[in-house]
Structure 1
């Protein structure tokens, strides 16, 4: 459907059903409501209990039944107005995503969900980062939500217990990680003391105590049942891979491709190091030399935020109107420090009405005070423009074409993170890494993403190591990552534990990038310009890559 046709398009019955679906999910999951920018639930939290997961699954079943009904009506009528091209994409995407969600529910994957980055403990703390703190009313809402953390964590304990009764418990490593996170949230100086309230007020103390009790519960009741092995096996892994990539993947071929791509990147990095320091210099030595150069150093988080903001604003100004059309609503981005301090870097999108801006967050580990721009320039492009900020913002702008579910609730990493890696490479191709040092940093980021295809698939599928002398395990993976990334030990540990506890997600970045590049090349070969490709591809929102491909190459 052309953009002119889309502008004239009236919402369909399926769009209305999706609208109701999102609002019902928002009522069930107030954290999601806050993430999506849907008002009315800011003072509430879901409880993550078995009853909660059952209620979400029941609403998903109802939505699938609605799709079936629309399909039946369409089959009985030749009237295209009943179910237009946009509806067909919506229905196909809904079926793919929602059926996966139900499969995960039936397997109790949500009940047992516990890891260092994407499970209820993180959701319960990070939601406060999205909440305004300026007015007295804002602060009262934060107080009200803080008082519900205890009930939410107790409901989560019920789900974990129910899963554990069936032998479904996260690995011991992940339990330990979340225990540490809960203890940090319970300690003085935690994220909970940076919400605009008095650090010692009753609500903050109540929430801190709840996280402290959660740490104790995990240690005493769940840890004794947690397996020490990290691998989830092929059956579970294939499901997670489909969920995150947005397509079915030949995992064995992807593993071999990841190792091959890693070899290619290593060779390119070697050429740059020879140019900078000569062929006697090792990769590690080159990284240390670059880290020591004053021109690539930032001291303190204030300097880091200022640099992030400058680079993000520059990219928006220089790319708009040339390689992309950047809608006015997303020509600004906010750069901030995440007080959680877990070592991650992430993006949070604007609200659907753009009253909340898109934000790039840097979660600086305790004690880190020096940052290296040669290594991190590519990260700004990944999280900002032309990466997540443009991609997600463009989806939100498509209100005349995409219903609320497709704008705010539909996401898969193969599309989303694959695009962000595509954006990193695009910026290199456009000349933004003429400095060999920042190009080395860009390649190191690409190298990490290729390496973790091998790490993630290798560990969870129990593959032989590249040398063929052993089977992948956490110890080997740590050494492999240390040899194939410039990350410091703190960030490396966080990343490795993330891969071990969130199977299938990390490889979706590089696998998704590969899909994006193949799609781009095929579209250009059919006569599409690069800007036309970008503008059209982003207009669909985050749909599975196989569905996007079928739409772009008709």
Structure 2
């Protein structure tokens, strides 16, 4: 059978990776690892034109069956929003501590193979391309700034500091690119050291440009305003939500979770507070991995155990998906994330964890829920399953489509599922789960609040700063009051929210929509509802906007 949607979107994949080799590497598509994209205005023009052409052509295709109908809806929704962001005029200038061209260029090296001499030669070729890529990106940011399109000053200052850390000018990580090639074969080391030094120098120079040229032009205000935020929210969720209602729900949800935390803390320290319970857990040597290496080994053992116990019970896990790698990242920015397997599964799906320089406790109780979120049944089952299902999903769906609300919502739903299944019977692990649930609920409040310039409700359940207007300093104060995170990591998190509008709420709002979707299917199917079948059917749709997800599940 001719499948026109699949054929056109498969061609789109080839067109995208030809223009953007970083995307090829992240997607595990071979043949592009020696290059970097053109980050100059001309390069952005070419990628923008590709998006517009593909959107128009796929929108005009008549799907041949339900599977293609879902694929078309997903593509039109995603690419349509990409084009909306381009048309809104802030896509190229967007620059934050977690998302920019310089982050993408550095991060792609984490995923490159280094097993053979040929692998190292490929690494060297890509390293040699770094100065040109950054020069093009500088040209783009200069053009955007000249047109008055800039990010907040805070983001420029913080990214300049990150670059000093990556290049060994400050912090404990050392020179990222020099460290990268330190283990190269002796016969290749001289050339690799030379191109690594040039890459590091170009990063250091770019950091000075960011601090001295861009930062003085940056916006004073961290908030982006309602129009941009509404678009960013739709992009990250794949759904349109009532922002004021979601803001109110965030306060209610945080209160519900913290009431649960108070009760759980009583099981750890009788008569004690949440802080008393946290202190007791942090002082328990059995709950501390002791080192980065110990934490990495613990993550791996935990993920492997859950994979083995879930297969055939709560999920059907195909053989290629039964392998996950768990790694402590070679940078000290903080945070946890997942990278999917390569198309041929030669590179396994990988859960990453990054510690900040001031990290002292390598806690199990805080991060058990993170293993479930990033690993199983979270991102690993979701993303690796999508890569595996070539029989159901086209190449674009499997390798390039990602919707934060769908993906992060599923991962947070997975944490909730593990609570339902009894995996948080230990009160310490459960307090860690609730702490992160509350952290994500607080992010809904601060992200919408600061970017829309909202007033803190006079009747908020914590009696905190009633009637005041949100700003960046209040965001940090509120998150500090409602999390147990170290200041270094919390500072990164807050800067991330301020510079990446709409992304942080996609976790908790995405979970809310996933739970609503499950409830609707359960109500419709009644006694015939099967949780394992629901999960299989939902994940087999691939990553998809949450509005199209609910529509597709409604047709099952």
| TM-score normalised per structure 2 | 0.94
CA–CA distance in structure 1, aligned partners of residues 46 and 167 of structure 2: 30
CA–CA distance in structure 2, aligned partners of residues 284 and 222 of structure 1: 41
CA contact (8 A) 2:78 2:235 kept: yes
Q: In structure 2, the residue corresponding to 1:156 is in which secondary structure? A: helix
CA–CA distance in structure 2, aligned partners of residues 38 and 408 of structure 1: 8
Task: Find 2:223's aligned residue among 225, 231, 241.
Answer: 231
Task: Find 1:355's aligned residue among 346, 360, 373.
Answer: 346
Distance 1:135 1:267, change over 3 A: same
Runs of 4+ displaced beyond 3 Å: 196-200
Deviations 1:195-248 (A, max 9, x none): 244598101100010001101111221111101210000000000000001101
- Residue 255, structure 1, aligned to residue 247, structure 2: yes
- Residue 276, structure 1, aligned to residue 261, structure 2: no
Q: In structure 2, the residue corresponding to 1:276 is in which secondary structure? A: coil
- Residue 481, structure 1, aligned to residue 479, structure 2: yes
CA contact (8 A) 1:121 1:178 kept: no
Q: In structure 2, the residue corresponding to 1:536 is in which secondary structure? A: helix
Q: In structure 2, the residue corresponding to 1:194 is in which secondary structure? A: helix
CA contact (8 A) 1:53 1:110 kept: no
CA contact (8 A) 1:182 1:211 kept: yes
Question: In terms of mean alpha carbon deviation, does 415-424 or 324-333 score higher?
Answer: 324-333
- Residue 160, structure 1, aligned to residue 145, structure 2: no
Q: In structure 1, the residue corresponding to 2:267 is in which secondary structure? A: helix
Aligned-residue offset at 1:284: 2.2
Q: Give the RMSD, CA atoms, in angstroms.
A: 1.4
Deviations 1:415-473 (A, max 9, x none): 00000000001011111111111000000010001000001000000111244331011
Deviations 1:77-124 (A, max 9, x none): xxxxx6221121121121111111111112232210210111111111
CA–CA distance in structure 1, aligned partners of residues 322 and 360 of structure 2: 30
Gaps of 5+ in 1: 1-9, 75-81
CA contact (8 A) 2:340 2:349 kept: yes
Task: Find 1:382's aligned residue among 364, 367, 373.
Answer: 373
Task: Find 1:504's aligned residue among 502, 505, 512.
Answer: 502
CA–CA distance in structure 1, aligned partners of residues 244 and 384 of structure 2: 35
Aligned-residue offset at 1:370: 2.5
Tell me what 1:140 maps to.
121
CA–CA distance in structure 2, aligned partners of residues 191 and 85 of structure 1: 47
Aligned-residue offset at 1:50: 1.3
Question: In terms of mean alpha carbon deviation, does 220-229 or 123-132 score higher?
Answer: 220-229
Tell me what 1:491 maps to.
489
Q: In structure 2, the residue corresponding to 1:152 is in which secondary structure? A: helix
Aligned-residue offset at 1:28: 0.3
Task: Find 2:470's aligned residue among 472, 483, 495.
Answer: 472
Q: In structure 1, the residue corresponding to 2:351 is in which secondary structure? A: strand
CA–CA distance in structure 2, aligned partners of residues 62 and 469 of structure 1: 48
Tell me what 1:106 maps to.
87
CA–CA distance in structure 2, aligned partners of residues 254 and 118 of structure 1: 25
Aligned-residue offset at 1:369: 4.3
Task: Find 1:115's aligned residue among 96, 99, 103.
Answer: 96
Tell me what 2:463 maps to.
none
Q: In structure 1, the residue corresponding to 2:352 is in which secondary structure? A: strand
Question: In terms of mean alpha carbon deviation, does 256-265 or 82-91 score higher?
Answer: 82-91
Aligned-residue offset at 1:11: 5.8
Residues 269-418 of structure 1 mapped to structure 2, 5 A cutoff: 269-279=261-271, 281-418=272-409
CA–CA distance in structure 2, aligned partners of residues 243 and 11 of structure 1: 31
Tell me what 1:266 maps to.
258
CA–CA distance in structure 2, aligned partners of residues 194 and 310 of structure 1: 27
CA–CA distance in structure 1, aligned partners of residues 414 and 336 of structure 2: 16
- Residue 193, structure 1, aligned to residue 178, structure 2: yes
Tell me what 1:215 maps to.
207
Tell me what 1:69 maps to.
60
CA–CA distance in structure 1, aligned partners of residues 40 and 2 of structure 2: 35
Aligned-residue offset at 1:151: 1.1
Tell me what 2:537 maps to.
536
Residues 516-531 of structure 1 mapped to structure 2, 5 A cutoff: 516-525=514-523, 526=525, 527-531=528-532
CA–CA distance in structure 1, aligned partners of residues 126 and 175 of structure 2: 17
- Residue 446, structure 1, aligned to residue 427, structure 2: no
Gaps of 5+ in 2: 459-465
CA–CA distance in structure 1, aligned partners of residues 341 and 123 of structure 2: 19
CA contact (8 A) 1:301 1:369 kept: no
CA–CA distance in structure 2, aligned partners of residues 169 and 552 of structure 1: 40
CA contact (8 A) 1:297 1:371 kept: yes
CA–CA distance in structure 2, aligned partners of residues 396 and 535 of structure 1: 14
CA–CA distance in structure 2, aligned partners of residues 522 and 398 of structure 1: 25
Q: In structure 2, the residue corresponding to 1:370 is in which secondary structure? A: coil
